[in-house]
Amino acid sequence: MDTYKEIRQGERGAMISIAAYLVLSALKLISGYLFHSSALLADGFNNVTDIIASTAILIGLRISRKPPDSDHAYGHFRAETVAVLLASFIMATVGIQVLIEAGRGLYEGRKAAPDPLSAVIALVSAAGMFGVYVYNRRLAKRINNQALMATAKDSLSDAFVSIGAAIGIFGAQFGLPWLDTVAAIAVGLLICKTAWDIFKDATYRLTDGFDENELQDLRSSIARIPGVEGLKDVKARVHGNHVLVDVVIEVDPRLSVTESHEISDLIEARMGERHNVMNVHVHVEPKQEGAQLEEDPAGVGKGEML
């Protein structure tokens, strides 16, 4: 599937999330005020942060669709990662505010139990969020979109938040009115944790972090390509939802330039087909006397064809 078509599908998932969050946040905030439920109010504010986060991701996806230009030779795919990073700051701010308000309520000793109907609203919202999670998760897997997968996971955590809010509200009906406020504190903590997880993943990608196990898979695939006599270096980084790879290989010094180029083409083809690598930069060097192939020491991969 075309990369830009995949991004457009990702935008559809983000828009569905925004629509769901708009409806649910309005329902929870209004009900929370009417039924005096701190937990439901906190859950509503949590969904407000989700609206902001999903909107930021949608904007990032739109920007990432722009084709490469003179200033962005690799395209604008990292725009969605930057948008996710900004969304994490917004989520953290709201999470801290929820904690402050819930803590103040616990300190002031609010005793009024919320209306049980607010618990029903929380459970209905949980079911709705789980449906959004299932849809976006399937779509994210199909188009290999990490930003949309993050949105899906956030929707799942929102479902659990709503269930927790319902438990707190039900508990308040049995002589434990403070349990509603405790549930609100738990919601605030979960918002902050989600913000931290999103921030950590976004900064890891923006600073060119790359999973060592995935890098080892790339090295093994390259080492098994016919004509690769040595593997001196492999580097990889994430660019949006794609991977960029720089590799230094050794080949038989008696090969012609054309033959060496054909090996480079094989590497590029295999990386694209098996590892979703968008761009591969291959540097070819003549094999030194006595050098050993770094990967595949048993030689089982020699001569393997695509």
Model confidence at 110, in pLDDT bands (50, 70, 90)? low
Report the percent of the chain where pLDDT is more than 70: 89
Name the pTM for this structure.
Answer: 0.69
pLDDT tens digit sequence for 263-300:
999 999 888 888 778 789 999 999 876 555 444 444 44
Distance between CA atoms of residues 235 and 240, nearest Å: 17
Domain ranges for the chain, please list them.
3-206, 212-286
The answer on pLDDT for 226 being more than 80 is yes
Q: Check residue 178 and give its pLDDT.
A: 76
Tell me which fold the domain 3-206 belongs to: Alpha-lytic protease prodomain-like (1.20.1510)
Domain boundaries 212-286, corresponding CATH code: 3.30.70.1350
| DSSP state letter for 67 | P
Burial class (CB in 10 A: 0-12, 13-18, 19+), 169: buried
Q: Which tens digit of pLDDT belongs to each residue from 13-23?
A: 888 888 998 99
DSSP state of 280: E
Alpha helices in the chain (DSSP H): 3-35, 38-64, 79-108, 117-143, 146-172, 178-206, 212-223, 257-275
